A and B are shown apart, each in its own frame.
Chain A
Amino acid sequence: AQKVTQAQTEISVVEKEDVTLDCVYETRDTTYYLFWYKQPPSGELVFLIRRNSFDEQNEISGRYSWNFQKSTSSFNFTITASQVVDSAVYFCALLSGGYNKLIFGAGTRLAVHP
């Protein structure tokens, strides 16, 4: 079975705090892809990152960083020095098997307060 679990329903932080959004996935496939999307209040999903199962290097993009660990089936997302504009719902997603569809987690709502 394929599944993505985002255990944190809502997170509230004060601006400039660091925050980590957790993502745990399940799949029996050896080749798969993991994604993070941001959904601002406008509703559109904005692509943040894609990772394949053979590349466990952590990635940093500005204030964003991702920690992929196959040993724990996790793909966590950290925002450093959070800003109010980071407030959104963040989704982790898995693409595996026949690559026909993305399996989404339930999302984590992040509220960054000034």
Chain B
Amino acid sequence: DGGITQSPKYLFRKEGQNVTLSCEQNLNHDAMYWYRQDPGQGLRLIYYSQIVNDFQKGDIAEGYSVSREKKESFPLTVTSAQKNPTAFYLCASSIDRSQTVNTEAFFGQGTRLTVV
């Protein structure tokens, strides 16, 4: 079945470490997104990519980095510069910018990151 796969489901990070969250989709979608979710808040956009080898900062990109070397993959690295990384991270994809009006964004099941 087509969909978005995020791994791992739970991730623990020591302070000062970088960690990478995986997001893979087999929907042939051009656009991919990373959101962060904190308790009592809506989702906030970290980074998005509309095409391979291109990505843009969202609202809260500081302390994060991404790459888009393949259409189906959009990994997110949480760097040591991110001072408060404990959160729930959601990856999403949609067909592409020009066709977003005809479709919705599909979400993965999320990765819960905890700093220990």
Contact = CB atoms under 8 A, between A and B. Distances in A.
B111 to A, nearest CB: 9
B10 to A, nearest CB: 11
A47 B42 contact: no
Contact of A44 (B42, B50, B107): B107
Contact of A43 (B33, B41, B44, B88): B88
A33 B101 CA distance: 7
B45 to A, nearest CB: 5
Given A9-B40, A101-B48, A106-B40, A44 B101 contact: no
Interface residues of A, number: 25
Interface residues of B, number: 26
A104 B90 CA distance: 13
B40 to A, nearest CB: 7
B9 to A, nearest CB: 8
A52 B56 CA distance: 25
A52 B100 CA distance: 11
B101 A99 contact: yes
29 contacts: A4-B42, A33-B100, A33-B101, A43-B88, A43-B90, A43-B110, A43-B112, A44-B109, A44-B110, A45-B43, A45-B92, A45-B107, A47-B105, A47-B106, A50-B104, A91-B43, A95-B100, A98-B97, A99-B97, A99-B101, A100-B48, A100-B50, A101-B45, A102-B45, A102-B105, A104-B44, A105-B42, A106-B41, A106-B42
Interface of B: 33, 35, 40-45, 48, 50, 56, 58, 88, 90, 92, 97, 100-101, 104-110, 112
Closest 9 CB pairs of A and B: A104-B42, A45-B107, A43-B110, A47-B104, A104-B43, A44-B109, A106-B42, A99-B100, A101-B45
